[in-house]
Amino acid sequence: MATHFVTSAAPGALPLVGHALPLMRRPVEFLDSLPAYGDLVEIRIGPTRAYVPCHPELLRQVLMEDRVFDKGGALFDRLRDIVGNGLGSCPHRDHRRQRRLLQPAFHRARLQQYAEVMEQESTALTESWHAGQVVDAFPVLYGFTLRTAVRTLFTAHVDDDAVDGIQRSFDTALGGLFQRMFLPRAWQRLPLPANRRYEQALEHLHGTVDRIIADYRRGDQDHGDLLSKLVSARDEGGGAGLTDEEVHDQVITMLFGGSETVAANLTWTLYLLSKHPEAARQVQEETDAVLGGRPAGWSDLPELPFTNRMITESLRLYPPAWLYTRITASRVELAGRLLEPGTTLVISPPVVHRQAAVHADPTGFTPDRWLPDRTADLPRGSFATFGAGARKCIGDAYALAEATLALATIANRWQVECAPGTDVRPAPLATVMHPRRLLLRLVPRTTKAVRRTAQRSLS
């Protein structure tokens, strides 16, 4: 029998700004409230009417039918200022060619090479910490993931100053992105300090990436990194491959897609670790048995199933890509409603991930819900952290490897405790959902403690 879907409008939209205020100020509560109104719920982003699929089946339909529900709408229109026409933002007509050219850069053999960089950077991170230190988790982990992304993209070609410069430019450019989504285009052309800072950040970002690519193109050997794959990618039949501009857009796309997202996931996971002593004990037991004090590497991944489940559960509760858009390319029926071409859809995984009708105890932190024998009955579309279909995240395996390796290395050496000043409400207007400020006090785990748990779990 066909499912009967309920569609309705969320109350409380204000003239001009629509639901912008609750979306900016308390996004999680606002999104959690939507399923109570129906399976497809109308909201307003500024003056624009948009539909949020709250039922997993509808969410999946929108993600899978990427020809009809194309990239576009308030978020992608603004995001293109930063990432151009790269793989994540290009319309359907350009997508299949780009994906074919980029996919080899994410094959298993390549991931194994990238894992060496992940291991080195996790080691450098945990060795830079000292007992009793309080770290502001998100910026520190963002530095870690951006350095890792830069080094997997360009191997040794970029120094730390350039990485810091890229991080600052991204901070400013992405910090302004959601605000721009809610404001009219004309506002962006006003000579305001915020607009000037945004323009300068973009100029710096594009300039740095151009310089790096130009340096890189001077040598023509395969460095075993992502950029080598991009530069040498060829269209079918030996065609031209990616132009300079396309390589540029893909590099920025990968830096954008591959750094803030993983940093947000690791930040939430460390927060959950600090709040759930039983999960902390389990992750220590696992990492002590497998690592015993050395950093985690590629071959350890199959031996770290609990660490991996923690990451997945954290991705369910706090999906970093928490809100993005689609635009209908033609007339289409969704949940029994006829949508005209040009209609905006808002995709928000937390809406589905935190629903009692989809996941038992939806707001509880239960890594073991991801045990293989417990996931068989989950409805399709119930876990959409990486999207779905042809536009599904190309870096999902990269992200899971990086997050699992980093978490294992951290948890094996350090215990983390929330310090005063922590505020884990999601940062307002952030492109990627992360806590406003997670301050973590670092307590070293002694070699004795590591050995003790390792022995216990062996006996």
| Interface positions with ligand HEM (CB under 6 A) | 87-88, 99, 253-254, 257-258, 261-262, 265, 320-321, 324, 385-387, 391, 393-395, 398-399
Give the chain's end-to-end CA distance (angstroms, integer).
Answer: 53
Q: Which residues, in sequence order, are CB contacts of 445 under 8 Å at separation 6+?
A: 284, 412, 413, 414, 415
455: left (phi over 0), alpha (psi -120 to 50) or beta: alpha
Tokens for 343, please give them. Answer: 């209609």
* Closest separation in Å from C-beta 134 to ligand HEM: 25
Instruction: Indicate the residue among 146 and 394 with the shorter CB distance to ligand HEM.
Output: 394
The answer to whether 198 and 176 have CB atoms below 8 angstroms apart is: yes
* Closest separation in Å from C-beta 389 to ligand HEM: 8
Instruction: Indicate the residue among 427 and 454 with the shorter CB distance to ligand HEM.
Output: 427
* Closest separation in Å from C-beta 394 to ligand HEM: 5
Question: Partners of 324 in the beta sheet?
Answer: 347
Q: Residue 364 and residue 153: Cα distance in Å, rounded?
A: 37
Beta strands in 267-343 (DSSP E): 324-328, 332-334, 337-339
* Closest separation in Å from C-beta 345 to ligand HEM: 11
* Closest separation in Å from C-beta 395 to ligand HEM: 2
Q: Residue 327 and residue 102: Cα distance in Å, rounded?
A: 24
Instruction: Indicate the residue among 320 and 381 with the shorter CB distance to ligand HEM.
Output: 320
Among candidate residues 205, 187, 194, the one with its CA nearest the CA of residue 81 = 205
Among candidate residues 216, 213, 265, 209, the one with its CA nearest the CA of residue 398 = 265
Give rounded-to-5 percent helix, strand, coil for the chain. 55, 10, 30
Q: Which residue intervals of 325-420 are DSSP H helices?
A: 349-353, 396-413
Instruction: Indicate the residue among 248 and 391 with the shorter CB distance to ligand HEM.
Output: 391
* Closest separation in Å from C-beta 83 to ligand HEM: 9
Q: Residue of minimal CB distance from ligand HEM?
A: 395
* Closest separation in Å from C-beta 192 to ligand HEM: 29
Q: Residue 108 and residue 202: Cα distance in Å, rounded?
A: 33
Instruction: Indicate the residue among 209 and 289 with the shorter CB distance to ligand HEM.
Output: 209
Pairing between strand 435-437 and 134-136? unpaired
Instruction: Indicate the residue among 288 and 359 with the shorter CB distance to ligand HEM.
Output: 359
* Closest separation in Å from C-beta 198 to ligand HEM: 22
Judged on CB neighbours under 10 Å (0-12, 13-18, 19+), 240 is exposed
DSSP run (H or E) holding 286: helix 277-290
393 is in an annotated binding site: yes
Q: Residue 219 and residue 156: Cα distance in Å, rounded?
A: 13
Instruction: Indicate the residue among 69 and 216 with the shorter CB distance to ligand HEM.
Output: 69
Which residue positions form the known binding site for heme?
Answer: 393
Which residue positions form the known binding site?
Answer: 393
